[in-house]
Chain A
Amino acid sequence: MENAWYVATIWIGLALVASIISIRTAISVALVEICVGVVGGNFLGLDPHSEWISFLAGFGAILLRFLAGAEIEPDVLRKYGKEALSIGLIAFFLPFLGTMAYAYYVAHWALQASMICGIALSTTSVAVVYAVMVETGFNETELGKLILAACFVNDLGTVVALGAIFANYNYWLIVFAVVTAVVMFVTPWFIRWFLKIFNNHVSEPGIKLIFVLLFGLGWLATRANSEAVLPAYLLGLVVANIFKENREMVRHLRTATFALLTPFYFLKAGTIVSLPAIYMGFGLIVVLLLVKMVTKFIGVYPLTRVFNLTGRTGMYTTLLMSTGLTFGSISALFGYTRGIITQDQYTILVTVVIGSAVVPTLIAQWFFQPKERDMNLTASVKTVCKPEIETSMSEKG
């Protein structure tokens, strides 16, 4: 076995390089880390299979899902429940079924591999959508809030599918389901009470409590052959409001996550990508990306018209809901680490996922940017909650 410090130096060194490239190019560190991982895996002989790297990467993936759940705004979900549920569920199911069917019937993948394909390509990247909206100021409009709420529902569909489809339906699954339900019910008030007593200490007991819950639920999930990201996302969801009141703790958690854990996850996701497989499977990559976008279009666009969005705004919404990145790569990595898909299939899926982060975003921004009058669905309705990020344009002085 190679010296662990040597291996750690290489991995963190690559993460450092990725951070610098990301800062200089303003491209997300997640995407750059995947690309640097591709270089590391294909040219530097980086080995992603070491147990401790897999643990750190897995922990990073769990925290990514937890933090994604914690960003949900329950008020917005309540306000746009019907619209968000309809758009979000359709945006999950149609691409899931469409890409799964294509992989199974046309590309002749095995059934379980096709299911992984369906799950990985059914995702919507809330983060990509959010970044586009922050840049344009849409995140504060009613339309922006509706799209984000629908993205969260879409993500929930993906996480539930990943957790449920491959689970063993046995005694452990019942234990996992019951314990998860109890934890979700008890956690909001318990954490609030805990933080009142033990907050603001350098040893971060609040974060450790969250880690205990995540590890415990993750253990039960894997015993049931389910996936640890499912309880992580749900746990994030139930503590979302508490996190909004404890921004300092969130900042510390975020720092630990992005400095140490997620680099291992994204680099590992990149190292498994095989460049020859991209070359060989390029046609399939393009077709799967098209299938994802077309099925999102068929599902989401008519609904946007039902909810009285203009054609242009409907297309913009549809395209943003066709994006994907983190959830898609997590789903693909889940399939690969469990031996459900091969390295070539993993490569194809991750490349499609990266393509879906870039292509629909560019089309939406170049051709379908909504007009200002379309951005507020109901002009009389004021913002329902305090925006996470303050105004995109502020005047001082």
Chain B
Amino acid sequence: MTTMLKKILVGLDGSKGSFKALGEAMLLAILAGTEVHTISVEEVPRYPGTIDEVIAGKEAADTVYASVIEKAQSMAKDKGVTLKTFVMMGHEVKTIVEFVSQNQYDLLVIGFMGHSALYDRVMGGTCQALVRLTPCPVLVVK
């Protein structure tokens, strides 16, 4: 499998699961001799009451993702893997699916979210949606 891997994308949201996924993706990248890309999605609040709500949300997400990306870069440095990170805005699933198809990744690696069954039923599972909709193989790391 690894010989076919040219482009690996990891969904990185800063959770423990997503860093676990990043670790696995780096191992695969070393075997395949390729680089790893990460995508972090900042969600814009739907139907905001004020522009400030959007701006404040973006600023908060920027701060969070700055430290997430710093940690990811340090992991990549330790393992000797080249890492490219992308931060985008939008709906998590839609943005990742579009990004994968636009950039023709060979593999998407995501962490298992670990929400309760009730949460997934009510809110819809991000993992499930990504597995169903992404136009490339998806590896879910638990």
Across the interface, do A326 and B50 meet the contact criterion of CB distance under 8 Å? yes
Say if the beta carbon of A27 comes within 8 Å of chain B: yes
Say if the beta carbon of A128 comes within 8 Å of chain B: yes
A130 CA to B59 CA, complexed, in Å:
15
Q: Which residues of A contact B88 (CB under 8 A)?
A: 392-393
Per-residue contact bits, chain A 367-397, to B (CB 8 Å; 1 contact, 0 not): 0000000000000000000001100111111
Per-residue contact bits, chain B 37-59, to A (CB 8 Å; 1 contact, 0 not): 00000011111111111111011
A157 CA to B122 CA, complexed, in Å:
41
Q: Which of B50, B86, B89, B90 contacts A395 (CB 8 A)?
A: B86
Across the interface, do A27 and B53 meet the contact criterion of CB distance under 8 Å? no
Q: Which residues of B contact A254 (CB under 8 A)?
A: 52, 56
If the complex has contacts A396-B85, A397-B85, are A28 and B53 also in contact, measured as CB distance less than 8 A?
A: yes
Say if the beta carbon of B83 comes within 8 Å of chain A: yes
Complex interface: stretch among A50-58, A64-72, A86-94, A343-351:
A64-72
* A250 closest partner in B (C-beta): B52
| Cβ of A95 to closest chain B Cβ, rounded Å | 19
Per-residue contact bits, chain B 45-76, to A (CB 8 Å; 1 contact, 0 not): 11111111111101100000000010001000
Residues of B15-51 contacting chain A, CB below 8 A: 43-51
Most buried by A among B43, B44, B47, B59: B47
Say if the beta carbon of A322 comes within 8 Å of chain B: no
Complex interface: stretch among A18-26, A173-181, A213-221:
A18-26
Across the interface, do B86 and A26 meet the contact criterion of CB distance under 8 Å? no
Q: Which residues of A contact B51 (CB under 8 A)?
A: 67-68, 71, 126-127, 130, 388
In the complex, besides A135-B89, A395-B84, 17 extra interface pairs with C-beta distance below 8 angstroms are A26-B43, A26-B44, A26-B45, A28-B48, A127-B48, A127-B54, A128-B47, A130-B48, A131-B44, A131-B46, A251-B59, A357-B47, A388-B51, A392-B90, A395-B85, A395-B86, A397-B83
23 contacts between A and B (CB under 8 A): A26-B43, A28-B48, A29-B49, A29-B53, A31-B47, A64-B49, A68-B51, A126-B51, A127-B48, A127-B51, A128-B47, A134-B54, A135-B44, A254-B52, A254-B56, A325-B48, A326-B50, A357-B47, A358-B47, A392-B90, A393-B88, A395-B84, A396-B84
Q: Which residues of A contact B (CB under 8 A)?
A: 22, 24-31, 64, 67-68, 71, 125-128, 130-131, 134-137, 251, 254, 257-258, 262, 266, 325-326, 357-358, 361, 388-389, 392-397
The 4 A-B residue pairs whose C-beta atoms are closest, nearest first, are A30-B49, A28-B48, A28-B45, A26-B43
